[in-house]
C-alpha cells in the first residue's frame, strides 16, 4: 500500500505540473486556456479534445479517489471526518473535471470554479496521501487539531 502511495504522490505532483504548464491560478489564464487567447496565439479548446480528456479522466479519477478514500476508512479518524474527506474527494474531483466544460461552453465566469476546484482537490488528495502514508509508517493518524 505504501508503494502505491508513492506512485500516487507522483500523480499528485504531475497533476500540478500539468495544470501549471497550461494555465495559472488566475481567472484570466483559465479563460485564455479554454477560450483561446489572441495575445498567446492559442485557439479555443474543441469539444472533441475536451471530450477525449474527460473520457479518460473520469474513470481514472474515480479509481484514484476510490483507492485513497477506501484506505482512509482504516485510519482511526472519526466517521464524520472520514465521510467529509470521502465526499470532498469525489465532489472536488468531479467539479475539477467538469468546470472546464462550464468555462468553455456555459459561461467564462466559471473560471473561478476551475481554480478553486483544482486547488481544493489537490489539497484533499495531498492530505489523503500524506495521512495514509503517515498511518502506514507509524500506525497512528495525523493529528487534525492541535
pLDDT digits (tens, 9 = 90+) for 49-103: 999 999 999 999 999 999 999 999 999 999 999 999 999 999 999 999 999 999 9
Q: How confident is the model at residue 34 (pLDDT cuts 50, 70, 90)?
A: very high
Q: What is the DSSP string of 64-88?
A: HHHHHHHHHTTS---HHHHHHHHHH
Q: What is the pLDDT of residue 37?
A: 81
* Residues whose CB falls within 8 Å of the CB of residue 90, separated by 6 or more in sequence, listed in order: 62, 65, 69
List the alpha helices (DSSP H) in the chain: 2-22, 27-35, 47-72, 79-105, 111-138
What pLDDT score does 146 carry? 54
97-122 confidence digits (pLDDT tens): 999 999 999 999 999 999 999 999 99
Each residue's pLDDT tens digit, 2-17: 899 999 999 999 999 9
Residue 114: name the closest of 51, 24, 1 by CA: 24
pLDDT given for residue 142 in this prediction? 84
Mean pLDDT, residues 17-34 taken together: 94
14 vs 11: CA distance, rounded Å: 5
For residues 129 and 120, give the distance between their C-alpha atoms in angstroms, rounded to a whole number: 14
Confidence category of residue 143, pLDDT binned at 50, 70, 90: confident
The pLDDT score that the predictor gives to residue 141 is 87
When comparing pLDDT for 1 and 128, which is higher? 128
Q: For residue 143, what is the DSSP state? A: P
The domain limits of the chain are: 2-138
Q: Residue 35 has which C-alpha cell?
A: 477560450
Long-range contacts of 47-50 (CB under 8 A, 24+ apart): 47/105, 50/100, 50/101, 50/104
Amino acid at each position: 500500500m505504501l508503494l502505491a502511495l508513492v506512485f500516487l504522490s507522483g500523480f499528485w505532483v504531475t497533476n500540478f505540473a500539468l495544470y501549471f504548464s497550461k494555465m495559472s491560478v488566475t481567472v484570466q489564464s483559465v479563460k485564455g486556456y479554454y477560450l483561446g487567447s489572441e495575445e498567446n496565439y492559442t485557439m479555443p479548446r474543441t469539444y472533441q479534445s475536451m471530450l477525449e480528456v474527460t473520457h479518460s479522466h473520469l474513470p481514472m479519477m474515480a479509481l484514484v479517489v476510490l483507492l485513497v478514500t477506501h484506505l482512509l476508512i482504516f485510519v482511526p479518524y472519526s466517521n464524520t471526518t472520514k465521510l467529509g474527506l470521502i465526499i470532498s474527494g469525489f465532489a472536488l474531483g468531479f467539479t475539477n473535471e467538469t468546470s472546464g466544460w462550464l468555462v468553455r461552453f456555459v459561461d467564462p465566469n466559471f473560471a473561478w470554479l476551475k481554480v478553486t476546484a483544482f486547488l481544493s482537490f489537490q489539497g484533499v488528495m495531498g492530505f489523503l496521501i500524506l495521512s495514509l502514508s503517515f498511518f502506514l509508517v507509524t500506525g497512528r493518524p495525523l493529528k487534525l487539531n492541535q
